């Protein structure tokens, strides 16, 4: 048996207080959240936290000896600058453990105004090489980078060897075909950039229509999917729509699927990652509970005996139930040519 001495952090999402408590109760080491509104990249009606709720959440997290991160990871337009600065000030006053930022201007403000504040570079910052990470570290003092989901396992390992900044990677959740922070599809169809509006498909642009043959989903009046009556219909995004190409209708850009790293968990742990992150602040409390509990069990088993680690059939089955399209993938991690 070869146990690992260095444990890594399990970072789980929460879109409300019940989900935050569920994440902590089921084994998360840290929870990441956002304020209500478009200052974070999961801007849905009824989702996210008021300042008073963040304070309640922080109290629960601290009572259990864990950490709370807050994402302010969209890009403020000039007219909104003071509002975003106030958002940073509010988070600091509350006392969250770290801010997850993407915008260079906000990082400059935060690092100069609050020199001791812990800053994480959001996945929306799209830093995929050591030179970009070094720039953010030298200029703004970031302590951690969340890597976009476009790097292979070999690239992640190489990057960790070349930087002193903590590296956080995604381990489970919905995938996107684009490099985070660089997508223009939603903007093309809805006129709202996800990088400023905080959501790929703004709620005002989404419409569902029930028909005799099933459910149709529209984005800004454009039909992007037709689901049969018995078919599970996910939240409509353009990249996962079905389109007619050469007389065939199929997922022309990306099929609905979810990232799941159980298969390569020992490799990720040995690579030196600081944290494994779960996607899904827009998902239910039940989702957060099950994913946190499953990954906690998997990580504990991996740390106890990494050489003989084999994912439990139950873990695989439980996570597959929550996957988009009931399908799991290693995404870019398995790309041998990178």
The domain defined by 9-175+257-334 folds into TIM Barrel (3.20.20)
Q: What is the pLDDT of residue 2?
A: 47
What is the maximal distance between C-alpha atoms in the chain? 60
- Sequence spans of domains, the chain: 9-175+257-334, 185-250
Mean pLDDT of 68-72: 97
Condensed to tens digits (0 to 9), the pLDDT of residues 253-286 reads 877 788 999 999 999 999 999 999 999 999 999 9
**Mean per-residue pLDDT, 85-92:** 98
d(C-alpha 153, C-alpha 179), whole Å: 16
φ, ψ for residue 113, nearest 5 deg: -80, -35
The closest of 8, 9, 22, 10 to 283, measured between CA atoms, is 22
Instruction: Name the pLDDT band for 323 (thresholds 50, 70, 90).
Output: confident
Average predicted confidence (pLDDT) for the chain: 90
C-beta separation of 193 from 33 below 8 A: no
d(CA 127, CA 66): 27
Average pLDDT over residues 122-148: 96
Distance CA 66, CA 58 (A): 9
Dist. CA 31–CA 20, nearest whole Å = 7
CB distance 4 to 308 below 8 Å: no
Token readout for 119 is: 């800053």
The residue among 296, 233, 231, 289 whose CA lies nearest residue 262 is: 296
Q: Is 21 helix (H, G, I), strand (E, B) or coil?
A: helix
H helix or E strand, kind and range, residue 288: helix 285-304
Strand order in the sheet with 214-219: 206-211, 214-219, 222-228
pLDDT at 1 over 70: no
Strands, E assignment, 188-266: 206-211, 214-219, 222-228, 243-245, 248-250, 258-260
Number of H helices, E strands in the chain: 11, 15
* Six-digit token string for 188: 């093309």
């Amino acid at each position: 048996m070869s146990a690992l001495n260095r444990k890594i952090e399990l970072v789980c999402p929460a879109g409300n207080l019940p989900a935050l408590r569920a994440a902590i109760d089921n084994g998360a080491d840290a929870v990441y959240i956002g304020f209500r509104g478009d200052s974070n990249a999961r801007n849905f009606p009824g989702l996210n936290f008021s300042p008073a709720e963040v304070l309640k959440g922080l109290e629960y997290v601290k009572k259990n000896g864990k950490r709370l991160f807050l994402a302010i990871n969209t890009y403020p337009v000039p007219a909104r600058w003071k509002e975003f600065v106030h958002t940073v000030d509010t988070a600091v006053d509350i006392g969250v453990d770290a801010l997850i930022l993407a915008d260079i201007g906000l990082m400059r403000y935060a690092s100069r105004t609050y020199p001791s504040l812990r800053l994480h570079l959001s996945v929306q910052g799209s830093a995929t090489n050591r030179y970009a990470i070094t720039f953010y570290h030298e200029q703004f003092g970031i302590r951690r980078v969340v890597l976009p989901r476009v790097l292979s396992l070999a690239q992640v390992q190489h990057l960790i060897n070349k930087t002193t900044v903590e590296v956080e990677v995604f381990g489970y959740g919905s995938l996107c075909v684009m490099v985070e922070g660089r997508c223009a599809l939603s903007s093309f169809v809805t006129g709202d950039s996800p990088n400023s509006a905080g959501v790929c498909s703004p709620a005002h642009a989404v419409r569902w229509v029930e028909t005799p043959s099933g459910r149709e989903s529209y984005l800004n009046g454009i039909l992007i999917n037709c689901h049969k009556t018995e078919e599970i219909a996910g939240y409509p995004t353009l990249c996962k729509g079905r389109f007619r190409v050469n007389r065939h209708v199929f997922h022309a850009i990306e099929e609905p699927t979810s990232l799941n790293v159980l298969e390569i968990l020992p490799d990720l742990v040995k690579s030196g990652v600081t944290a494994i992150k779960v996607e899904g602040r827009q998902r239910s409390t039940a989702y957060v509970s099950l994913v946190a509990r499953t990954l906690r069990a998997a990580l504990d088993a991996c740390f106890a005996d990494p050489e003989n680690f084999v994912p439990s059939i139950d873990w695989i089955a439980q996570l597959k139930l929550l996957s988009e399209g009931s399908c799991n993938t290693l995404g870019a991690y398995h790309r041998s040519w990178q």
